A and B are shown apart, each in its own frame.
Chain A
Amino acid sequence: MKYLHLIWAALFRRKTRTILTLVSILTAFLLFGMLDGVRTSFANVGKSAAGAKRLQTGSKLSFIETLPQSLQARIAQVPGVKDVAYANWFGGAYQDPHNQVFSFAVSPNYIDQYPEVSVTPAERKAFDATRTGVLVGDTLAKKYHWKVGDKLPLQSNIFPNRDGSKNWSFDIAGIIRATKPDDKQFLQGVVLMHWKYFDESNPYNRGQVGWYVTSVADASQSDRVARAIDALSANSDHETKTMTEQAAMASWMKQMGNISFIVVSIMGAVFFTLLLLTGNTMAQAVRERTSELAVLKTIGFSSQAVLGLVLAESVLLVLLGGVIGLGLAAMLGPIMSAGSGGMLNMPPVGAGSWAIGVGLMVAIGLLVGVLPALRAMRLNIVDALAGR
């Protein structure tokens, strides 16, 4: 710590250059904070312990193809199956087509398959008893100021109702809360309605469901149960593909694109540029201070101490810009989410992102500092003082 003032002073010897470099580092880590949050969110979708015990069965042809509701009873007969629920995509929007909400028409026992979801017994009872009832996620309820007992008008971007319009009206019967903080983002952002009401009210796909959710008694038996479920529809006009919820989510994500690869590629390019830029700054800074470094060695600083000082300066530079950048990302994410009116949902910068970020800062700092530091370490005092 006694050298901190010396390192700090060296860092801000050329204020403008250091500030410009800091802004570049800050921007790179701001971008990292935002993109890594997206990557982490996508990577964690469906990765709950309960998710491993759930199977998802959809059409083998395409996820937009439907399956007969009558399959439920047959799936329930497969050994190892604990319970079977089903759901259909509703495609709802609130007030404005831009305000898309994840809305599903579900079977009465759908919510029982999700122990990570909590609804009060009274609200659950009210939902079960109300044909037009819906359960809404807590995050959505807070965002749009919905409360239990309110009428909820939703526009489906796919399904018309009985009168031919796509405007549907529901009654809010209860609030969905996630039992674990990690699940909040998805589970508290959905609207669940009765499949029966949905099925009876729309003229299409009568008796059809989008997918089945099957709970298995033993996760180690998931593969066998999945094969048995698919065997039920083999060679029919509605062949199925069953996989664990994790695998289904991963497959769905893959259809959207390899988010991790895209994020890592973008950040790789950004950090490579940062490496060159900061490396150049450090090299220039050390070159300018040749005689000062020689004086340090003259008065007794060892070569290793000089190496350490330059490396510390380099790491401090990147840490300073990086921590401010990641801090800004942590602050701006929620502000942007709130300000976008639901169009954007920036995930928070989690502990994992901070750990990777700080690791990257130290690694980049060491990488960009190592050459100038070695140069400083090898400096010949006599030559440096003579300006050679």
Chain B
Amino acid sequence: MGNLIEIRDLAKVYARGKQKVEVLHHIDLNIAEGDFLALMGPSGSGKTTLLNLIGGLDTPTAGTISVGGQRIDQLGAGPLAKWRAANVGFVFQFYNLMPMLSAQRNVELPLLLTKLSSAQRKQNAAIALKLVGLDERASHKPSELSGGQQQRVAIARAIVSDPTLLVCDEPTGDLDRQSAEDVLGLLRTLNREHGKTIVMVTHDPKAAEYANHTLHLDKGTLVEQALA
């Protein structure tokens, strides 16, 4: 399979007051389509920054990022938002669901940006919830669900618009072992059976075992590439 993501000479510098902090420097990386990649490294190593850049949440200071042949480092805020809506699903450590909406309505959120009818949105959300095994909890609000269930709703929200790429930032960081394994198993299924390319940041070596590859970052540089 070809590369879905191609990163060349990537650097990211943040300004903290008068000080400039170079979080990432000279990153070169290819991620194949259909890959499941784990990014590991100590706190402050730049893994979340790299994930944000891959997901189009942030723009690089230097270097290029191509996803599916599209130079996302060259996109402005508006086109980048559209690109994210069409191509990327996000899973966060703390689920980041809308507390006042039901699971169904949370999953429907990305579809509000499409031209789908209300009935089609409902149907697609129901399919996504079924895929993560929560079709019977569709009407429940996040506060009525366990942490593991909330993360599965977040995964359903991430896949409902059928993106090519899933970026997951510590998806099991707030879960007990059993729930973490359920979530990781689900991600592996999405990768293997549905062909989703997944980039996951994690601190947990056990979580990284679910990935096909693990990359280590330290002080903003890729230090090692290991086969799972």
Contacts and interface: CB of A to CB of B under 8 A. Distances in A.
Interface in B95-117: 96, 98-101, 105, 109-110, 112-113
Chain B interface mostly: helix
Contacts of A303: 77-78, 81
Nearest to B53: A382
A6 interface: yes
A380 to B, nearest CB: 9
A302 B90 contact: no
Interface string A1-40: 0110110011011000000000000000000000000000
Nearest to B106: A295
Interface residues of B, number: 25
B222 to A, nearest CB: 20
Nearest to A295: B96
Nearest to A380: B58
A9 B81 contact: no
Given A298-B57, A299-B85, A385-B92, A292 B112 contact: no
B78 A302 contact: yes
Given A300-B110, A382-B57, A12 B100 contact: yes
A111 B110 CA distance: 72
B113 A301 contact: yes
Given A295-B96, A300-B110, A9 B101 contact: yes
A82 interface: no
Contacts of B55: 298
Nearest to B105: A5
B151 to A, nearest CB: 14
A297 B90 CA distance: 11
Given A9-B100, A299-B110, A300-B82, 17 more contacts: A2-B118, A6-B109, A9-B105, A10-B100, A13-B99, A292-B98, A295-B92, A295-B96, A296-B109, A298-B55, A300-B81, A300-B86, A300-B110, A303-B78, A304-B78, A381-B57, A381-B58
14 contacts: A2-B118, A6-B101, A6-B112, A9-B98, A292-B96, A292-B98, A295-B92, A298-B55, A300-B82, A300-B85, A300-B86, A301-B113, A302-B77, A385-B92
Interface of B: 52, 55, 57-58, 77-78, 81-82, 84-86, 90, 92, 96, 98-101, 105, 109-110, 112-113, 118, 157
